[in-house]
Chains A and B, each alone.
Chain A
Amino acid sequence: MRRLSTPLVFLALVTLVSFGPLVFLIKSVGDELQSLEAADMDNAQWTVSQVNVDLAALQVAVANASLSPTASMLNVKLRFDIYYSRVQTFANGDYYVSHLDEGRGDEALAQMQGFLTETVPLIDGPESNLRAALPELQVALADQRRIARDFALKALEVFAAQSDDRRREFVTLLITLAAVLAVMLLALCTALVVLWHLNRLTRRNADIVQASGKRMLATISASLDAILVSDSRGVIIEYNGAAEKVFGYSREEAVGRPMTELIIPHDQVRAAEGDLAQFLTSGEKSILTKGRVQQQARRKPGEVFPMEMSIAETDQSGELMFVAYIRDISEQKAAQDALKRARDEALAGEKAKSEFMALMSHEMRNPLNGLIGALDLLERSPLNEKQSSYLAITQKSSRLLLTHLNDVLDISKFNAGIVALDMYPVDLDQLLHDMVDDNEPMAQARGNVLELVAPDKELGLVQTDSVRLTQVLLNLISNAIKFTRNGQVSVEYELIDETTKTRTVEIRVADTGVGISEKDLERIFDDFVTLNASYARDVGGTGLGLAIVKRIVRAMGGEVGAESVENEGSIFWVRIPFRRVSSVRAKNLAPSAPDQKVQSPAPVLSLQGKRALAVDDSILNCQITTDMLESMGLEVQLAHNGQEAIDACKTERFDVIFMDISMPVMDGIEATRHIRAGEIAGDLNTQTPIYALTAHALPNELDQFNEAGMTGVITKPLSFAHLDIRLRELFPDADQEAVEGAGQDMRLNDGRLLDEAHVQDLLRLVKVDGMRQRIEALQDELNLGLAQMRDCLKDCDPGNNPNASVPQELRDQVHKMAGMCATFGLRHLHLSLSDIERELEVTDCASIERPQERYLEVEALTEQSLAEIFDRITAFAAVQTGAGGSGKGTARDQQGVSDEFAPEEETQGGDVPAEESDKQAVEVA
């Protein structure tokens, strides 16, 4: 097309250029024609030649008249007149006058006119005169004849020349015209050819475009996805069959209407328009052309459905267009949702099942705890041989039952996803060594040699859950012993990989036992697998051992595997990446394994004079614990709930406290918190080791224990072995401890309510009277505050208004009171109020725990604190006035208390709540 338009332009130019001359030529020809059309002369040749004719006629008439003297002169007169008229025509006629001038015929004409003028008197005169003059006239006429011929010839010459000139000019004009026309014709013909060619090209292109358009239309209409094409303002300009099905609008309805009006949900129209406007102004693409997006769309009936959409923009001859491919994914979404729901339900069911299993195991373990404890005690009573053997059987059975229960509980816990590893620094070499030592008797009993193959270099401390690791190794070692008779079991370990953070250790337990067939090897780590029925009967087992091993090792980030040749032996290996221990930490704080099968010898520890507090709501459990501890020489005091424990702590200092967790009135965690805080429970036992006694040490519970300030955990059922380990840890040197214990001052109530140092400072600062005034004012404020709290709590009663949120004024009141208490050193009250304040931040009325009770506590505490501080004022006044020795003693005591509280004050100033001792937290962790 472009290639051809150049000649076309050139041709048009040629035509245009030749148009000017053409117009001029046509005009000239027209003028010429016009002049031809209107002849400005008659047949001049004729007229001229007639001069001679007329003259000849006159000569004849004159000659005839001369023949007879009587002849008429009329004819002579007529012919003269005619000749006269002819000559006058040349003399007067406008045309002849103008043309003959050029032909120089005027001389002859003048002579002819001269003759006529001379002759007129003769002709008009008497006939006789004319007759007489006829001969002369004849002679004159002969002369005239010559002149007339000259005139005629000259005139004819002039006319012929003029005519020739004119014709020649006209011919030239016509030839020029013809030439110009020929050029134009040529140009037009060429243009025609070019146009024809162009037309052919255009038609061919049109055919191609039409064909591709048809193809495109077919593609669009056959598409399974809805296809919408819109212009830049979002007006639909194309809409396929699938779109009709998806949206419910027919093509006629849709085309020409804006998308916002048809398919965008009403609540999203504004956002869509915003996107479009933003795109048009800034070119920034938001939802537009962001690839595949999931959106909502609206059908004709108004139903909103999910769709997946992909938008492309295209530029068609400067006009921006959007092409949207839309897929209705409502069914897909519905299927997804259904699947998700089904999965959630299944998971919830599974979790419920696991939780139920864990709970059941726990419930079964509690009575078993009592049973095993009682059996331990029974063993220490005098028994005859038969009774001893029964006892042994009973003990073995109960321990086996406990093992099974633990297995099931473990699996349940793993399945419920509630197992977390408890990482402590552990001496791996020592642990393995102990393991082998402990299992030596069992190996020997089956005629096996058990040996430990240690690497040259000790591995040292690693961070791990020693209980779980022990559980894994014990399982593997005892399995090896069980399935080997008169053979060899070796435990090998070595460091196989080391990074800055981890040390990967492989531990192998190899035996020369029966081995495992290849097909069984694949499933030994599955749940409930027991390979050899007879062995199973013999050694017992739930078939969960290796399944638990696998889960534990996985949880530690390691792998476990086995290789075996039947009748030759097996190798079980575990590879665990242990975390390095950054600094040396106490290694003996890890809780002991609950299912440790080591039978410790009877305790020989002498703990005479040590005092223990055993807290358990179960009378039976209490009894057993008491008996066990007393048998070790400890003095035991009992408490049946947390409150009782606190009360006991108020009055007595203990060397160790065993704390049950779930108890009525106050649970073990709270009691521990109070004891550590030293406020309610006094400061006698803030440092006393507190062990949690629990049958269900779930990870989040362990966290709670740590936070509360517990020293460690002893898993129920309580056994001599566990107690022995713990007590040995606690009292490595009983004598020294006894001395320290004796050094403790048994003070009762001083300082537990007040920040003594602060109060003393205040007293020194504002003096007795000032202090008294201020405290009285404080008393008024606090009483007012308490009254308001009471009112608020009434409003906030969950019975009346379960969903009400905590009134802001209650929060403000508590905050204000806490602040005042802090100012005057009412430490405990301050802390209690701060706790309450913190709790009020996050809870609604219904979730405030024991509001009435707590209120009463605060009220009581207020009363006590105020009484205390008034006492301090009185005492200070006494000292000031130099009162007796008792006052001095009080002052000394106060000073001592102040010193003791100094570090706690620092703790209070920090971020950590006062109840938690940093040191204790670290120890437990």
Chain B
Amino acid sequence: MLTVYIPGRERGKRLAFIIRNIKGLTLAIWLLFASLASASWAQSNDGAGDLQQVLGVAPEGEILLTISGELAVRNSERGVQLDQQMLSRLPNQRYETTTIWTKGEQTFTGIMLKELLSWLGAKGSAIRLIALNDYAVTVPLDEIYDEAPLIAYLTNGEAMSVREKGPIWVVYPYDSSDRWRQQTSYARSVWQLSRIEVID
């Protein structure tokens, strides 16, 4: 085995450089396989108009999620606020996947973030996801896809407590593709989500 001494910092840079290059090379191949894997989610048929009616009414129960920024619909001063009931009335999707933070396969039920934003008529370049513990991450709008992420409000059919990373957890279908098993995806998998800010 050849042993070449490379000082720590330098080593890290070079490694990153090499990986980036090789990554580009192999990405295309992996994408091909990714498209074959399927996440299980169903398409809702509800019209946008009905949903705006739903979203336009102020919530009656405990407010789980607040969406602010430039929106077409509002039900409070701060923007759109959603309780458990409202969430359950919106068309939902389901992931069956494991996560690195939980034990065993989980069934997540929730709303597609992209759909939600479109129903709300959100206008901006990015959104900011903010958790109860003030953890925050910014996601560009064009990195919000049709199939991910999901604004989950049920785990295995049950509402989630804060102890169980609820009440709302942004999840990706990690098992379906390497594409989602990325640092970025993990970082954007915000648990104990409380607010979404649409930003320019």
Q: Could you tell me which A residues sit within 8 Å of B by CB distance? A: 29-30, 33-34, 36-43, 50, 53-54, 57, 78, 81-82, 84-85, 88-89, 92-97, 167, 170-172, 174-176, 178-179
CA of A157 to CA of B18, assembled, Å: 26
- Assuming A78-B162, A172-B2, is B102 touching A92 (CB within 8 A)? yes
Contact of B100 among A36, A50, A94, A179 (CB under 8 A): A94
> Nearest chain-A residue to B12 (Cβ)?
A167
Encoded as 1 (CB less than 8 Å from any A CB) or 0, chain B from 9 to 43 comes to 00110010011001100100010000000000000
Q: In the assembled complex, which residues on chain B have CB atoms less than 8 Å from the CB atom of A78?
A: 132, 162
Hey, which chain B residues are within 8 Å of A43, CB to CB? 183, 186-187
Q: Enumerate chain B residues within 8 angstroms of A97, measured Cβ to Cβ.
A: 103
Most chain B beta-carbon contacts within 10 A, residue among A37, A43, A78, A97: A37
The 8 Å CB contact of A42, one of B3, B30, B132, B183, is B183
Given the interface pairs A40-B181, A175-B3, the reply to whether A85 lies near B26 with Cβ below 8 Å is no
Are B133 and A30 closer than 8 Å at their CB atoms?
no
Kindly identify which residue among B3, B133, B181 contacts A39, using a CB–CB cutoff of 8 Å: B181
B60 at interface (Cβ–Cβ under 8 A)? no
A430 CB to closest chain B CB (Å) equals: 129
B26 neighbours in A (Cβ, 8 Å):
30, 33-34, 37
What would 8 A/B residue contacts be, using CB atoms closer than 8 Å?
Answer: A41-B186, A57-B133, A81-B162, A82-B133, A92-B101, A93-B103, A95-B101, A176-B1
Q: Is the CB of A94 within 8 A of B18?
A: no
Sample of 4 further A-B pairs with CB below 8 A, known A42-B186, A43-B183, A82-B132? A38-B181, A85-B162, A167-B11, A175-B1
Q: Are A82 and B181 in contact (CB under 8 A)?
A: no
Which of B3, B30, B135 is close to A172, meaning CB atoms less than 8 Å apart?
Answer: B3
Distance of A201 Cα from B193 Cα, bound (Å)? 76
Contact A37 B163, CB 8 Å, known A170-B15, A176-B2:
no
- Which chain A residues lie closer than 8 Å to B66 at the CB level? none
Closest to A57 in B: B133
Known: A37-B26, A37-B30, A167-B15. A81 touches B161 (CB 8 A): yes
Judge whether A94 and B186 touch: CB under 8 Å: no
Could you say which residues of chain A place their CB within 8 Å of the CB of B181? 38-40
Q: Is the CB of A175 within 8 A of B183?
A: no
| CB atoms of A85 and B100 under 8 A apart | no
The B146-200 residues at the A interface (CB cut-off 8 A) are 161-165, 178, 181-183, 186-187, 189, 191-192
Q: A40, A42, A167: which contacts B187 (Cβ < 8 A)? A: A42
Q: Closest CB of chain A to B145's CB: distance in Å?
A: 18
Q: Report whether A171 and B100 are in contact in the complex, using a CB–CB cutoff of 8 Å.
A: no
Interface of chain B, main secondary structure: loop
Interface residues of B (CB under 8 A from A): 1-4, 6, 11-12, 15, 18-19, 22-23, 26, 30, 98-103, 132-133, 135, 161-165, 178, 181-183, 186-187, 189, 191-192
Given contacts A85-B192, A170-B15, contact A41 B1 (CB under 8 A): no
User: Are B100 and A37 closer than 8 Å at their CB atoms?
Assistant: no
Q: How far is the CA of A33 from the CA of B192 in the complex (A)?
A: 32
Contact A42 B189 (CB under 8 A): yes
Are A54 and B133 neighbours in the complex by a CB distance under 8 Å?
yes
How close is A628's CB to chain B, nearest CB, in angstroms?
145
* Alpha-carbon gap, A78 to B3, bound state (A): 52
Residue among B100, B132, B164 with the most chain A CB within 10 A? B100
- Please report the C-alpha to C-alpha distance between residue A232 and residue B84 in the assembled complex, in whole angstroms: 99
B-chain residues with CB within 8 Å of residue A84 when the two chains form the complex = 162-163
A88 → chain B, closest Cβ, in Å?
7
Chain B residues within an 8 Å CB radius of A175 = 1-4
A33 B19 Cβ-Cβ under 8 A: yes
Q: Which of B99, B103, B133, B161 has the most CB of A within 10 A?
A: B133
| A42 / chain B contacts, CB cutoff of 8 Å | 100, 183, 186-187, 189
- State which of A39, A53, A88, A93 has its C-beta within 8 Å of the C-beta of B163: A88
Contacts of A30 in B (CB 8 A): 26
From the candidates A85, A170, A172, name the one contacting B1 in the complex (CB within 8 A): A172
Please state if A92 and B103 are interface contacts (CB–CB under 8 Å).
yes
**B164 in contact with A85 (CB, 8 Å):** yes
Cα distance, A669 to B132, chains bound together (Å) = 166
In the bound complex, how far is the Cα of B3 from the Cα of A788, in angstroms?
Answer: 131
Closest 7 CB pairs of A and B: A42-B186, A81-B162, A38-B181, A38-B178, A93-B101, A95-B100, A84-B163
A178–chain B nearest beta-carbon distance, Å: 8
A174 is contacted by which of B18, B23, B161, B182 (Cβ under 8 Å)?
B18
Q: How far is the CA of A175 from the CA of B11 in the complex (A)?
A: 12
Residues of A within 8 A of B183 (CB): 39, 42-43
* Docked complex Cα distance between A397 and B163 (Å): 180
| Complex interface: chain B residues within 8 A of A50 (CB) | 133, 135
Tell me the bound Cα distance from A88 to B19 in angstroms.
33
Chain A residue at smallest Cβ distance from B181: A38
Chain A min CB distance to B167 (Å) = 11
Bound state CA distance, A176 and B2, in angstroms?
A: 6
Q: Which of the residues B98, B100, B132, B165 comes within 8 Å of A41, measured between beta carbons?
A: B100
Contact of A94 among B4, B103, B187, B191 (CB under 8 A): B103
A33 to B16, CA, bound (A): 11
Q: Which residues of B contact A37 (CB under 8 A)?
A: 23, 26, 30, 178, 182
Distance to closest chain B CB from A160 (angstroms): 11
CB-based nearest A residue for B189:
A42
One of A34, A39, A171, A176 near B11 (C-beta < 8 A) = A171
The one of A33, A89, A167 in contact with B22, judged by C-beta atoms closer than 8 angstroms, is A33
Name the distance in Å between A411's Cβ and chain B's nearest Cβ.
119
Cα A94 to Cα B104 in complex, Å, equals 8
Contact B186 A39 (CB under 8 A): yes
User: Which chain B residues lie closer than 8 Å to A82 at the CB level?
Assistant: 132-133, 162, 192
CB atoms of A85 and B178 under 8 A apart = no
B66 vs chain A, min Cβ distance (A): 16
Q: Which of B22, B101, B191 has the most CB of A within 10 A?
A: B101
CB <8 Å contact, A39 and B132: no
- Residues of chain B lying within 8 A (CB to CB) of residue A39: 181-183, 186
Residues on the A chain within 8 Å of B133, using CB: 50, 53-54, 57, 82
Bound-state Cα–Cα, A673 to B163, Å: 166
Chain A residues with CB below 8 A from B132, complex form: 78, 82
**Chain A residues, Cβ within 8 Å of B98:** 94
Q: Which residues of the other chain, A, contact B100 by a CB distance below 8 angstroms?
A: 40-42, 93-96
Find out whether the CB atom of A171 lies under 8 angstroms from the CB atom of B101. Answer: no
Cα of A36 to Cα of B99 in the assembled complex, Å? 17
Chain A residues with CB below 8 A from B22, complex form: 29, 33
Bound: A170/B1 CA distance, A: 12
Please indicate the chain A residues that have their CB under 8 angstroms from the CB of B191 in the complex. Answer: 85
Q: Determine how close the nearest CB of chain A comes to the CB of B55; give it in whole angstroms.
A: 26
> Which residues of B sit under 8 angstroms from A36, Cβ to Cβ?
19, 23
* Residues of the B chain whose Cβ atoms lie less than 8 Å from the Cβ of A33: 19, 22-23, 26
Q: Once bound together, how far apart are the Cα atoms of A89 and B163, in whole Å?
A: 10
In whole angstroms, how far apart are the Cα atoms of A96 and B178 in the complex?
19
Instruction: State whether B2 touches A85 (Cβ < 8 A).
Output: no
B163 to chain A, nearest CB (A): 5
Measured in the bound complex, the distance between the Cα atoms of B1 and A81 in whole Å is 51
In the complex, chain A residues whose CB is within 8 Å of the CB of B192: 82, 85
* Complex contacts, A81 vs chain B, CB 8 Å: 161-163
CA distance A737 to B101 in the complex (A): 172
CB distance from A606 to the nearest CB of B (A): 151
CB contact between B2 and one of A34, A41, A57, A179 (< 8 Å): that residue: A179
Chain A residues with CB below 8 A from B189, complex form: 42
Q: How far is the CA of A839 from the CA of B59 in the complex (A)?
A: 158
Q: How far is the CA of A39 from the CA of B186 in the complex (A)?
A: 9
Q: Which residues of B contact A176 (CB under 8 A)?
A: 1-2
Contacts of A53 in B (CB 8 A): 133
Query: B37 to chain A: closest CB distance in Å?
Result: 12
The residue in chain B whose Cβ has the minimal distance to the Cβ of A177 is: B2
Residues on the B chain within 8 Å of A89, using CB: 101, 165
Bound-state Cα–Cα, A94 to B12, Å? 27
Q: A37-B26, A85-B163 are in contact. Are A94 and B2 (CB under 8 A)?
A: no
Q: Which residues of chain B have C-beta atoms less than 8 A from A34's C-beta?
A: 26, 30, 178
